[in-house]
């Protein structure tokens, strides 16, 4: 038993306990909301969320002990794993007609979303490529940037083609741009990339986006043109705004939200969980959600800056960008000011893949925080 207690003591002494506590608080908050929103939907939603949280916390502990440099040293394996996992959607992909995507592979009653899981390998792969190029002083060379973009585009194209999941692809784009910026890619490359994207926008808009996707993007900005009767793409966000507004300052009470408990907002337990928080827990509940997520993001950035490791900084930046992109987009679409593109709210929304990915990512940040003291660790356990 003594070695076990030594392991536990070492973990609580060296791991990022602040991040662990914040992650647990966010996860428990999510479990409480899934229990409330899901009571009229399915009996196994709560069990899946609790099970995913337990697995995620186990991965938090595991990744706290794994040196990120060891993981990043296998970029080809990470890339092949990512390609294979996403490619399974071509054969086994399932989804819902209302979502407009087929982004899940299902085993019995459990669904796995490859695009969620691959976010972590994607961040590590891009971080390693950038850090290696920086060491060689070739980051701003055409060849180095081309290699990074090719790897990123392969995964992005696979996600969109295999699942029609444009929302997840946009999160990957935000992650990529953030990591390139943190890695000190020159401004001229961002301007060039922006110019190329602007030139390709008409081609992408008319040839690669389906009508419902174009309508979702335009709806918040030209509602009378896209959905004048507000019975189509604006139906969900309109109900979401009404739910949040009806919650007032303290909410109608957990499990007592009229709109939430009527289960009329499709996907409220996943993409529109913030509206349930607003209706049942009010402004106070929404503020707590945003405070928890902001603290987690700040902690990720802090650990990266203090890591004394360029790779660690890039990984933490990528994880923070992932959380920021999902938080801003999810809350924005629940408030009706951003397009509805199917993005979960980190830690709060129902979804096994989402919660496991978030907690695993936090474990990687915790592991980066532990790395400044590797000698002490080896002395303790050898």
pLDDT tens for residues 131-159?
Answer: 999 989 989 999 999 999 999 999 999 99
In percent, the amount of the chain with pLDDT more than 70 equals 92
Q: Which of 294, 292, 237 is nearest to 268 (CA)?
A: 237
Q: What is the mean pLDDT of residues 32-52?
A: 85
Q: What is the pLDDT of residues 252-281, one digit of tens each?
A: 999 888 998 888 888 888 889 999 999 999
Q: Which of 20-24, 179-183, 322-326, 348-352 has the lowest mean pLDDT?
A: 348-352
Alpha-carbon span 356 to 297, nearest angstrom: 17
**pLDDT, position 107:** 67
Q: What is the pLDDT of residues 213-258, one digit of tens each?
A: 788 888 888 877 777 767 778 888 899 999 999 999 999 999 888 9
Instruction: Please give the mean pLDDT across all residues of the chain.
Output: 87
| Residue-range domain boundaries for the chain | 22-381
Alpha-carbon span 366 to 17, nearest angstrom: 8
**pLDDT, position 8:** 76
**pLDDT, position 297:** 97
Burial 293-330 (b: 16+ CB within 10 A, else e): bebbbebbbbbbeebebbbbbbbbbbbbbbbbbbbebb
Task: State if pTM tops 0.85.
Answer: yes
Q: What is the pLDDT of residues 296-351, one digit of tens each?
A: 999 999 999 998 889 999 999 999 999 999 999 999 999 989 988 888 999 999 98
Grade residue 366 by pLDDT with cuts at 50, 70 and 90: very high
Distances (CA, A) of 187 to 193, 194, 202, 305: 10, 11, 24, 22
Alpha-carbon span 156 to 171, nearest angstrom: 10
């Amino acid at each position: 038993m003594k070695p076990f207690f030594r392991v536990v003591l070492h973990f609580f002494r060296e791991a990022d306990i602040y991040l662990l506590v914040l992650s647990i608080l966010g996860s428990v908050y999510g479990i409480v909301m899934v229990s409330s929103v899901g009571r009229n939907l399915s009996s196994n939603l709560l069990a899946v969320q609790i099970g995913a949280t337990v697995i995620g916390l186990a991965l938090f502990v595991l990744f706290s002990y794994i040196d990120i440099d060891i993981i990043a040293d296998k970029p080809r394996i990470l890339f092949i794993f990512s390609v294979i996992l996403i490619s399974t959607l071509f054969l086994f992909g399932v989804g819902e007609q209302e979502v407009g995507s087929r982004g899940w592979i299902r085993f019995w009653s459990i669904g796995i979303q490859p695009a969620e899981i691959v976010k972590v390998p994607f961040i590590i792969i891009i971080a390693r490529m950038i850090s290696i190029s920086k060491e060689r002083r070739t980051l701003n060379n055409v060849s180095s940037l081309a290699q990074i973009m090719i790897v990123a585009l392969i995964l992005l194209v696979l996600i969109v083609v295999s699942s029609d999941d444009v929302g997840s692809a946009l999160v990957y784009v935000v992650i990529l741009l953030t990591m390139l910026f943190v890695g000190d890619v020159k401004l001229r490359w961002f301007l060039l990339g922006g110019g190329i994207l602007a030139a390709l926008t008409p081609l992408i808009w008319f040839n690669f986006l389906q009508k419902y996707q174009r309508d979702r993007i335009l709806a918040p900005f030209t509602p009378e043109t896209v959905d004048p009767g507000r019975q189509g793409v604006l139906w969900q966000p309109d109900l979401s705004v009404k739910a949040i507004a009806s919650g007032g300052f303290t909410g109608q009470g957990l499990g007592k939200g009229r709109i939430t408990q009527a289960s009329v907002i499709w996907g409220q337990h996943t993409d529109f969980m913030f509206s349930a928080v607003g209706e049942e827990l009010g402004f106070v509940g929404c503020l707590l959600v945003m405070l928890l997520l902001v603290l987690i993001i700040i902690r990720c950035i802090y650990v990266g800056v203090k890591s004394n490791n360029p790779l660690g900084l890039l990984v933490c930046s990528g994880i923070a960008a992932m959380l920021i992109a999902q938080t801003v987009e999810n809350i924005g679409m629940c408030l009706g000011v951003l397009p509805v593109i199917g993005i979960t709210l980190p830690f709060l929304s129902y979804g096994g893949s989402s919660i496991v990915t978030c907690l695993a990512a936090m474990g990687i940040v915790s592991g980066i925080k532990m790395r400044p003291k590797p000698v002490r660790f080896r002395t303790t356990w050898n």
